[in-house]
Amino acid sequence: MSAKALQDLFRCHREKATGLWRLGQEPNRTVYFDSGDIVFAQSTHPMDRLTHLLVERGKLTQTQLDYALANLRQGISIGKNLIEMGFITQRDLLEVARAQVERVVCGSLATLDLEPVFDAKELDATVVRLPFDTPELLLNGLLGLKNREGLLELLGPLNQVVVLQGRRLMEMTLPPDLAKLPPLLDGTHTLLELSRESLAEPLRLGTFALFLREMGWARLHEMPPLDRSVLDMALSAEPAALSAPLPGIETVPSLFASIQAAAKPTTNLEHLSQAFDAPPELQPLPGPVTDGFGFSLESGQAILPTPTESPAVKVPVPPNFEPEEAIPQVEPPVTILPSTLTSPDPTSIESVPDFEEDKPRRWKVPLLAILGLLAMAAVGAFGWFRLRHRIPRPVAPQPAPVKLPMLPKAATAPAPADLPKAQIAVPKPEPKPAEKPEPRAEPKPPPPREIGTSVGERVEALRKGDIDLAVRQGKRLVKDLPKGHWTLRLEIACESGTLRRAVDLFADPKPDLWVLPLALRNGRGCFQVFHGHYPSQALAEQTIRKLPAAFRAEGNRPKPFKIGDITLKQ
């Protein structure tokens, strides 16, 4: 890759230069700059020629090209020859000319080891100026390069960061894979990181960064190397040593210590207070110290007295006694005082009387259940009876119908009910007379406007750009002129601006011009511009010397036509 050619092209755009930029001697490529913008390009390389591009893009076949080259008219370009022959259109020529400029620029960027030359001067008025977006043209040229090694050599390492300068990049239309990049170009991401985040190919992203640098829209900085010792410390797997616990902090007892502390016997203060409040005769004898539940405070074992069996007391039962149901014998509660735990005294135990309220009343539960079942059965029987024998509702007595006296029938026409259906005449509603709308006077169409064919009217239509009126005037004029007269065809124009310029080329304010349509072979419609009408061909050819110089140029000489031989198709 020629780094000088690439950088020099970008320099001419940055410095807004005007002139010719040339690369190579023969063959060579020439790029036309106008205030920093690329407006045109030419090349003598065979692959960059206009004819090769026309065949390559399918606008022209090789047979048509060979025929056109063999029948070229001298003094005019090959593009104009192809248009006049009807092989291509002006739109086709414009598209291929733009493609030729793009190919010349891409070829200049990819040329190896050539020194560019720039000739700063004003461009001639004859130079064709095509509208190009120069930054987009240069970006597409860079992205189309295939020399990866040369691009990496110009770009540098891929650990560089990109910092935007200005907002010119926001005005461009970027490819889809690069459209996500502008918000990320803040100097915090390297090219490799940008490639991972935007899913763009790294070399394509690097080429885009090279374009931004050469355009002066961004700065590229290489990231400083990392400290190796800090990196090794960060990647080390050894855990750091824990510091000693701070003094003075109370530690929480372990679970085993809590269980062992819970196993120690405790003292019930409530029973202990009862023992101290007891009278002197009930104070416990000296012996082992126990808690309120009779457990030894030293060993934790219960010390209980051995109960003595009392003789059974027999109760006499009457002979006619029949128990309704066996009532279980409930043993009376035994109250153990603290003094009886060590020295039992049978005389001190008092029997507790049984109260009627404390006896369980088991007969109430089945009685309530039986009553509930009887109530449910009664409700069910009542409902079943209502369903089987529904009680009729009382009906209010209705008054007897009143008989009215019969009136004598009139001796007139029989009632319609006595007549057969065929004799009953149903009166039809009389239709209302429709209101006749008032006749509206239809507007009369305006009389057809007569088309004026005078010289002044024809010139005025051409200067206003009213091509339809000019064509109708020309057709009307051809019908009125004698078929044996002659005229001069000045040119074939396909744009309305060309017709207006044809009028301005004459010094006479009212030149004798008239227009007829012309259908080309490719289906495109153009216009024929004629001048005057003459009785003979000789007089028509003599008038050629008096026409403006633009119509007498070499290769564009007016052609005489007989009025009756003028055709509207080619």
- Cβ neighbors of 242 (< 8 A, separation 6 or more) are none
Instruction: State how far the Cα of 175 lies from the Cα of 208, in Å rounded to an integer.
Output: 11
Same structural domain, 61 and 156: no
Q: Are 486 and 540 in contact (CB under 8 A)?
A: yes
CA distances from 232 to 223, 225, 241 (A): 19, 14, 18
Question: Are residues 166 and 129 part of one domain?
Answer: no
**pLDDT tops 50 at residue 358:** no
Say if residue 37's pLDDT is above 90.
Answer: yes
For residues 492 and 551, give the distance between their C-alpha atoms in angstroms, rounded to a whole number.
12
Residues 11, 130 within the same domain = yes
What count of other Cβ atoms lies within 10 Å of the Cβ of residue 234?
Answer: 9
Task: Collect contacts of 272-278 with beta carbons under 8 A, ≥24 apart.
Answer: 274/338, 275/338, 278/337, 278/338, 278/339
Q: 549 with 506: CB under 8 angstroms?
A: no
Angle at 284 between CA 283 and CA 289, to 5 degrees: 135
Burial 84-97 (b: 16+ CB within 10 A, else e): ebebbbeebbebbb
Q: What is the pLDDT of residue 411?
A: 44
Residues 40 and 134 in one domain: yes
φ/ψ of 170, rounded to 5, equals: -65, -20
Kindly report, residue by residue over 178-199, the tens digit of the pLDDT.
888 888 888 888 888 888 888 8
Shared domain for 154 and 119, answered yes or no, is no
Across residues 295-319, what is the average pLDDT?
50
For the record, the structure tokens of 231 come out as 């990196």
Average pLDDT over residues 450-479: 86
Q: Is residue 264 part of a domain?
A: no
| 488, part of any domain | yes
- 499: Cβ–Cβ under 8 A, 6 or more apart, which residues? 462, 465, 467, 470, 493, 515, 527, 529
Task: Note whether residue 308 is domain-resident.
Answer: no
List pLDDT tens digits, range 144-156.
888 878 888 888 8
Reported as a single tens digit per residue, the pLDDT across 114-144 is 889 999 999 888 888 888 899 999 998 888 8
Quick check: 56 pLDDT over 80? yes
> Do 170 and 120 share a structural domain?
no
Residue 22: partners with Cβ closer than 8 Å, 6 or more residues away: 28, 29, 30, 31, 116, 117, 118, 119
Residue 504 forms part of a structural domain: yes
Residue 276 has pLDDT above 80, yes or no: no
Structure confidence by residue, pLDDT tens digits, 65-107: 888 888 888 888 888 888 888 889 889 888 989 998 999 999 8
* pLDDT at residue 170, as a whole number: 83
Q: What is the mean pLDDT of residues 304-313?
A: 49
568/492 Cα distance (integer angstroms): 12
Per the prediction, the chain carries an average pLDDT of: 74
Q: Answer whether residue 379 is part of any domain.
A: no
Residue 258 domain-assigned (yes or no)? no
Binned at pLDDT 50, 70 and 90, residue 167 comes out as confident
Q: What percent of the chain has pLDDT over 90?
A: 8
- Residue 528 belongs to some domain of the structure: yes
517 compared with 451, residue with greater pLDDT: 517
Strand-pairing partners, residue 145, are none
Which residues neighbour 165 within 8 Å (Cβ) at sequence distance 6 or greater? 216, 217, 218, 219
Q: Does some domain include residue 387?
A: no
82 and 159 housed in the same domain: no
Answer yes or no: do 134 and 7 share one domain: yes
pLDDT of 521 > 60? The answer is yes
Alpha-carbon distance of 40 to 20, in angstroms, equals 10
pLDDT at 12: 92
Domain count across the chain? 3
Rg (CA), the chain: 62
Q: Tell me the whole-structure pTM to 2 decimals.
A: 0.41
The tens digit of pLDDT for each residue in 541-557 reads 888 888 887 787 766 77
Q: In which residue are the tokens 């207006």 written?
A: 500
Start-to-end CA distance of the chain, whole Å, equals: 50
Q: Of 222, 254, 278, which marks where a domain is finished?
A: 222
In this structure, is the dihedral angle defined by the CA atoms of residues 539, 545, 550 and 556, taken in order, positive or negative?
positive
Same domain, 134 and 14: yes
* SS3 (DSSP) at 31: strand
| 562 residue type, one letter | K
Residue 447 identity (one-letter amino acid): P
Residues 46, 110 contacting (CB under 8 angstroms): no
Count the Cβ atoms, other than its own, within 10 Å of residue 564: 11
> Sorting pLDDT into bands at 50, 70 and 90, what band is 313?
very low
Domain match, 114 and 164 both: no
Per-residue confidence band for 39, with pLDDT thresholds at 50, 70 and 90:
very high
Same domain, 125 and 158: no
Mean pLDDT of all residues in 232-252: 55
Average pLDDT over residues 194-209: 88
| Stretch 516-534: mean pLDDT | 86
- Residue 492 sits in a domain whose CATH number is 3.30.70
For residue 357, what pLDDT is reported? 46
Please tell me the predicted confidence (pLDDT) of residue 349: 44
Lowest mean pLDDT across 11-25, 318-332, 353-367: 318-332
- Cα distance between residue 192 and residue 203, in whole Å: 10
Which one of 222, 237, 268 terminates a domain? 222
Q: Which of 164, 194, 222 is the last residue of a domain?
A: 222
DSSP assigned state of 384: H
Which pLDDT score is estimated for 69? 86
What does the longest C-alpha to C-alpha distance in the chain come to?
177
Q: How many CA atoms does the CB half-sphere of 248 hold within 13 Å?
A: 0
* Structure confidence by residue, pLDDT tens digits, 376-399: 898 888 888 877 766 555 555 555
Give the pLDDT confidence score for residue 350 in this predicted structure. 47
pLDDT at residue number 428? 58
Q: How far apart are CA 552 and CA 310, in angstroms?
A: 162
| Same-domain status, 128 and 184 | no
Mean pLDDT lowest among 9-23, 238-252, 313-327, 464-478: 313-327
Scan for tokens 């001190």, then name that residue: 348
Q: Which domain holds residue 200?
A: 147-222
Per-residue pLDDT tens digits for 400-456: 555 555 544 444 444 444 445 444 455 555 655 555 555 565 666 555 566 778 888
**Phi, psi angle pair for 214, to nearest 5°:** -70, -30
